[in-house]
Every structure is written in structure tokens, then in C-alpha cells.
Amino acid sequence: MSSSPFFLSAMGMVCALGSGHEEILANLLSGSQQGMVEDTTCMPGKAVTLGKVCVDLPVIETKGESSRNNRLLLAAFESIQGEVDRLVQRFGADRVGIVLGTSTSGTIEAEQAMIAHLSEGEYPSHYQYRIQEMGDPSRFLAGYLGLTGPAYTVSTACSSSGKVFASGRNLIRTGLCDAVIVGGVDSLCQLTVHGFSALESVSTGICQPFSVNRDGINIGEGAALFTMTTEAAPVALLGVGESSDAWHISAPHPEGKGAQKAMECALEDAGLQAEEIHYLNLHGTATPLNDAMESQAVFRVFGDKLCCSSSKTMTGHTLGAAGAIEAGLCWLLLSSMNDNGRLPPHLWDGQPDPELADIALTHSRSSLPTSPWRMMSNSFAFGGSNVSLILGQTDTEATL
């Protein structure tokens, strides 16, 4: 069990649901799919549905830094800037760390640079190789903010930015940092869309998690950042559970043993029983294998009573950013902005798969019981890399 509480004092996000707390929460609760759009740029000649960020992003003037990934990071950072400034003033720039998750980094810029090289014989003058390195997001953000504490990137595919919460917590526990910026970012690119298409895992339309008609994912993009400290705040990180079942290079364990272990470890870490969780944000990718194993794992841990849903029908699967973005959605649901305790609807065609375990998918009228509320969020990745997070309300009177 966690030896001391850790708090998520601020959160910033940009994704297909929009930017800013109020906009994202309103669109989440209404089931908006405004950012799920058909695109032909990531797979030339073929239209695919993607979760795209459609807001204006900050401009980065420094040569070799202006990747879409880094611009998404800065868009998410805007909502936590005041808290970061406070933490730096309180603890010092060397005592604030950064741990981010990504799986694409600056791949789209590398693709564009390669196209230019093939056609013109040289790379664009603004292109620098480091922009596509997995470590670039944390390196960039640390340099941009002038932070000199530990800064590194976790890249474990779709669990990347879920695992950063454990990493950030460890930096504080070991005394290396007093506060840590944790989160994740991924941007759309041809590499991932073509790659998942080659695996026959891309949906022909908007994905249908847990439906008998599910046929794959919609890839998305976005970023979410949090400030983590031991100073009391309205939302706490209560528990983290990690597992690695290593069943297959791309397929999950068919019975969801690794997923189950991650959820059970998160509950143990938080010192909670299954019945003390009020909502679960499912990994819910809408691939045949993932939904089958996750439904079994969830049913074994929680039975058929816990309200749960997949948000990927509204954001797309944001890959390395998914863990942080979906934790961010839970953060918003736990905030004072959601004072009537509404839960997001599970958007699908309403056609259950009789082969799946009967878990309690939310509908438009689902709501939370009496507070304080506790929520779990699942992220499962290639190679059996699994993480489950538990966030909860605290008794502090501060508002978000």
C-alpha cells in the first residue's frame, strides 16, 4: 500500500474532445465525437477515421524544436503553467522533475523530412534528427521551462503515459524531486496508421468497443500533463498497478491475466477493495482480442456492477498518450466541475458480443454515488505491458 499520499494538483489536456477543462468535460459527458474525422493524409488514397486535435497550437520559434508533439505538449502545459511556476518558486528548478510517455515523438516531421530528401536530395534546413527520438518530449519540455531536475521519457507503447505516474511517484519517494510533471503526448503520423493497418487493427468507421461488430481502433493524438506533489489537493493518485505478462509481441493474454494482475495490484497499492471503486475507464480499444480479454479480467475483479466505459470513441486511441489522457478524463470527472456526478456514456452500436463477459457499460444517465469518488483507468500495451491507475477525491476544501 502507498506509504504516503500523492496529489495531482493541476492537469492540462488537449485532445479530439477539445482543450480546456470545461470544454473537454462538457464534450465528454455529452458523448461528442467532434474530433473523430475522416482523413486521407495518414494513408494516402484511403480514408480512415482518426481522433484529431483541431485547435490552434502554440508556435515554437526555436530551430529544430517545432514538432507537432512538442506543440501539443505546450498546448496542454498552458493549463498547469501557474502551478508549475509556484512549484519552481517553492522548491527550485532542480527539484522539479519531468517524466513523459510517448510512442511517436517527432515521427511526422521525420516522414516529411524523408519525403523532401527523396525528392530534393537534401533534408529541410529546419529538420534535426533528435526531434524523432523518444526522449525528445521530456528533453524539450525541461529546456523550455528551464527545469534541471530529472527528465526522461517512458516508451512502452500504449501503456507509456500510464507508467509515468509510478515513475514520478518514485522520484518523489526517493528524495530526488519534490514535485514532478507527469503526462504523455503523441501525434498522428503515417507510420502508426500504416502499422496498425498492417495488423488489420484499424476500424472501417468509428470504433465500437465491446460490440459484436467491433473491427479495430481509431488512432488519435493529444497530450495531457499533471503536476504531482505531496501537498494536499482535491484529486489524489491513490494507487498504481503494473504487470508484464509477455504473452505475445502484439496480442494480449487471451484470458487477461496480466490485465487482472495490474488491476489487483492497483487496488492493493491503494489499500482499497474492488467495491470501493466507482468507475472504470476501460482500455477499450475495440479490437477483438483486447475487448475479449479485458471484459474477462474486469468481470473477475469487479463483477457486473461497476460502471465502466471506453472513451476512445471520442478521443481515438492516442497510443503513448492514452494513459495520461484517460487519467485526465477521470481527473475532470472527479473535479468540482462535475458536481452532479455524471459519467460519460459508452458510445457503441448497442450490439453486445455474447462471447464477452457481461460488464456494466455506462449509458447517458449513469451517475456516481455519494462522494468521495474513486476511479480506475486501464492501459494495456504490446508485449503485455499493463498499468492500472486509481485516482480519487480527497477531503481538501480546495477546488479545481
Q: Where are the domains of the chain?
A: 6-393
Which pLDDT belongs to residue 4? 67
Residues 6 or more apart whose Cβ sits within 8 Å of residue 261: 241, 243, 245, 386
Secondary structure (3-state) at 118: helix
d(Cα 281, Cα 87) in Å, to the nearest integer?
30
pLDDT per residue over 312-352, tens digit each? 999 999 999 999 999 999 999 999 999 999 999 999 999 99
Q: Residue 398 pLDDT > 70, yes or no?
A: no
Residue 71: C-alpha distances to residues 62, 134, 186 (Å) = 12, 15, 11
d(Cα 274, Cα 299) in Å, to the nearest integer?
11
* Claim: this prediction has a pTM higher than 0.85: yes
Q: Which residues pair with 33 in a beta bridge?
A: none
d(Cα 203, Cα 48) in Å, to the nearest integer?
8
The catalytic site residues sit at 158, 283, 317
Q: Which residue has the cell 529546456?
A: 143
**Positive or negative: CA dihedral 387, 393, 396, 400:** positive
pLDDT per residue over 105-127, tens digit each? 999 999 998 999 999 999 888 88
CATH 3.40.47.10 fits 6-393, yes or no: yes
Q: Residue 397 pLDDT > 60, yes or no?
A: no
Go through 218-245 and write b for each residue having 16 or more CB atoms within 10 A of its CB, e for each that does not.
Answer: bbbbbbbbbbbbebebbbbbbbbbbbbb
d(Cα 244, Cα 234) in Å, to the nearest integer?
31
